[in-house]
Amino acid sequence: MSDDDFMQASDEEYDFEYEDEEEDDSGNVDIENKYYNAKQTKTTDPEEAVDEFLGIPALEEEKGEWGFKGLKQAIKLEFKLKRFQKAIEHYKELLTYITAVTRNYSEKSIDNMLNFVEKGADSPAAVEFIEQFYSTTLRCFQSTNNERLWLKTNIKLAKLLLDRKDYYAVGKKLRELHRACRREDGSDDPTKGTYSMEIYALEIQMYSETGNNNQLKALYQRALKVRSAVPHPKIQGIIRECGGKMHMSEENWKSSQSDFFESFRNYDEAGDLRRIQVLKYLLLTTMLMKSDINPFDSQETKPYKNDPRIAAMTDLVDAYQRDDIYKYEDVLHKNTDLLADPFIAENIDEVTRNMRTKAVLKLIAPYTRMRLDWIAEHLRIDEPEVQDILSYLIVDGRVQGRIDEHNSTLEIESRADANRIKAIQVLTDSVGDLFKTVFKDSDGFRPVAPESSYSDQGEAGGFDTLRGGSRASRRLRHRGNNNNNFLNVAMH
């Protein structure tokens, strides 16, 4: 074949392929145009857009990407229009397209679809259909033996149930998930370590919310020992946050601070907004530890020092470390939204009590007698609380005084009286020791068996003070009168 013949044959073959490709592109262009036209009308006429989207799958000779996209858009619009039954029917059809698109695209799309219906469930009817979405998805993945997607969907369902505080259903679902992530011998399957960590995180959250600290502590330690997976930082953040709350309930401030810091660091790495709330918990723990260390000295927290979202907590810490009770109370009064978080509301009382206790000690230091209502007025608190704080300080030994409840006054004992009482106590203890040494430990006063009758001894009693005994007792016998005189003086 000559070069000219070869070129001619090549051109003919090229032209033939080009024409076929153009025919295919023409068909795809029509479908693509229909899809984008429907997207433009979905804001103005959503019902017409639904019909347009549902018409796209019929234009494809085989199930493909455009049909998958069209069904996704139609389902979302139907859910917004509260056509829940239609949305379920078309969602079942969508699941048949999973093999027609790439695995990553299908997984991401199904995940986004479930997130969409969760967020859009603003009525009891919508909530009921959410469960149908999940059950339909789970049946599909189970029938196709897609264990990975089955696990991911079940974990999402467990999260949904936990958000709804349906703890019975959550516990049942978590037990099912644990079984799926274990070997036949009951040990954790290392190939499913990432899923195991997510399941542990959900279970830890459940125990944290229900206040089951015994189960929480055991599961928390178990989750920290998992080494077969590299979980998402958000999962680690959840586990550490719950651990910090657990330690806080046990008043283990140091461990609590460590966990909250690790939680904040992981949330920050994941870009999760939860980091702001956990940073507030970290600042709260700093006050409970009575620490003078600036929590914003670390590299991780420094960028948030002037963040307006934590300005109130920052001001509280500053007032606490400077013992400024007035500033502290003022910040707490102006930022009542801080108490919207149940965890902060539960633990801020302990910080406030510590702050007021320090203020009471500082206020009463120069005085020996004062009225309780005067203390209450200066600290801007109720008189019963003042009495409660003073009673605690007296019992704890930090205040030497007494409360006159009849006159509602506090009377501080003078230092001279206290020193005199202490000296008398020391003297009393010394006399007691001397008495014990002389009359109990001395060998000369031990009882002995009588050798003759009472009349023969010429002594009144069964103690032989004239015979036997140590050298010290014999000396004491001759100096008895002097010793008696000395004891009389010492005891007076």
In a domain, 326, yes or no: no
- Residue 255, pLDDT score: 92
From first to last of its 492 residues, what are the pLDDT tens digits of the chain? 444 444 444 443 433 333 344 444 555 778 888 888 888 888 889 899 999 999 998 888 888 899 999 999 999 999 888 888 899 899 999 999 888 888 888 888 888 888 888 887 766 777 778 888 888 888 888 777 778 888 888 898 898 889 888 899 899 999 999 888 888 887 778 888 888 888 999 999 999 988 888 889 888 888 887 776 677 899 999 999 999 999 998 889 999 999 999 999 999 999 999 999 999 999 999 899 888 788 888 888 888 988 899 999 999 998 988 888 999 989 988 988 888 888 998 899 889 998 899 889 888 888 888 899 999 898 888 888 988 999 988 888 888 888 888 888 888 876 555 566 667 777 787 877 777 777 665 555 555 555 444 444 444 444 344 344 444 444 444 444 444 443 343 344
- Residue 263, pLDDT score: 94
The residues with which 188 forms a beta bridge, in sequence order, are 182
In a domain, 95, yes or no: yes
In a domain, 415, yes or no: yes
11: tokens are: 């051109």
In a domain, 225, yes or no: no
In a domain, 181, yes or no: no
Cα gap 66→52, rounded to integer Å: 12
DSSP for 70-97 reads HHHHHHHHHHHTT-HHHHHHHHHHHHTT
In a domain, 107, yes or no: yes
Q: State CA 365 to chain mean position distance.
A: 38
What is the extent of the structural domain holding 54?
28-145
Quote the number of domains for the chain: 2
CATH code for the domain in which residue 122 is found: 1.25.40.10
- Residue 239, pLDDT score: 92
173: tokens are: 């679902």
Cα gap 439→302, rounded to integer Å: 72
Domain boundary residue, one of 83, 112, 145: 145
CATH code for the domain in which residue 434 is found: 1.10.10.10
Cα gap 81→228, rounded to integer Å: 45
State pTM to two decimals.
0.67
Write a three-state SS string for 337-378: HHHHCHHHHHHHHHHHHHHHHHHHHHHHCCCCEEEHHHHHHH
Domain boundary residue, one of 145, 174, 195: 145
CA dihedral of residues 251, 252, 253, 254 (deg, nearest 10): 170
- Residue 370, pLDDT score: 87
Domain boundary residue, one of 124, 145, 166: 145
Cα gap 325→339, rounded to integer Å: 18
Cα gap 187→392, rounded to integer Å: 51
In a domain, 388, yes or no: yes
- Residue 237, pLDDT score: 92
In a domain, 416, yes or no: yes
- Residue 485, pLDDT score: 45
Report angle CA 249, 255, 258 to the nearest 5 degrees.
120
- Residue 23, pLDDT score: 43
Is the separation of the CB atoms in 327 and 359 below 8 Å? no
